[in-house]
Structure 1
């Protein structure tokens, strides 16, 4: 029934080329950038707070896939400033009042437990 309103042949989308075999999600790309920052000796939160530095006793060679978590405990995951209330954020603040400098409203400031500790690291209080 081709009355001129619609083409007689079915509509086919034009070829756009093959899709990537394994597309990388935005979250995975963020994790890769963070791991690269650690590998280069920078704390991943330095993009949010440029004054942050890795703790001198932390092991920057440990990555998210490493299994030696107990051997070097100076990780963001063992710090008292890291909260996981809704999202994992660093609630450290300088002695002066004001906003928490390392928190944004996006995933760029989500603090991964495997990150090496920064100079402001303090052990989490047990209990």
Structure 2
């Protein structure tokens, strides 16, 4: 458990680094949620395999990059109920050299993965450490 927890925390640190790197290079542009893409399937897991039976809404966002080209992307984080509404104004972050790599400037799209990985890793490493301490005291 300690090893798996530590690996998850390392993964969280890597995810933080990716987000920080993205933010350091990101251009900002106003965007609009033009639609919600409802999906019944998340990463190959069917509805029958999930505890939550409802579909998940992913925001589809339109923005104009600095070169004047209109762009559209699907947000990486979906939710039910939806986090965004059609027509809602959002701030878009994107790389100038790769405008198709765009994200909504929000907690979920930037920080959810590191928080989840780090939290689970911390709990697992803590439980593993506590078990090991108790085991060594009994020996």
Which has the higher relative contact order, 1 or 2, with Cα contacts under 8 A spaced 6 or more apart? Answer: 2
The structure with the largest strand share of the pair is 2
Decide which structure has the larger Cα Rg and report it: 1
Relative to its length, the structure with more helix (as a share) is 2
Q: Is TM (by shorter chain) over 0.5?
A: no
The interval holding the TM-score normalised by the smaller chain is under 0.3
TM-score (ref. length: structure 2): 0.22
TM-score (norm 1): 0.24
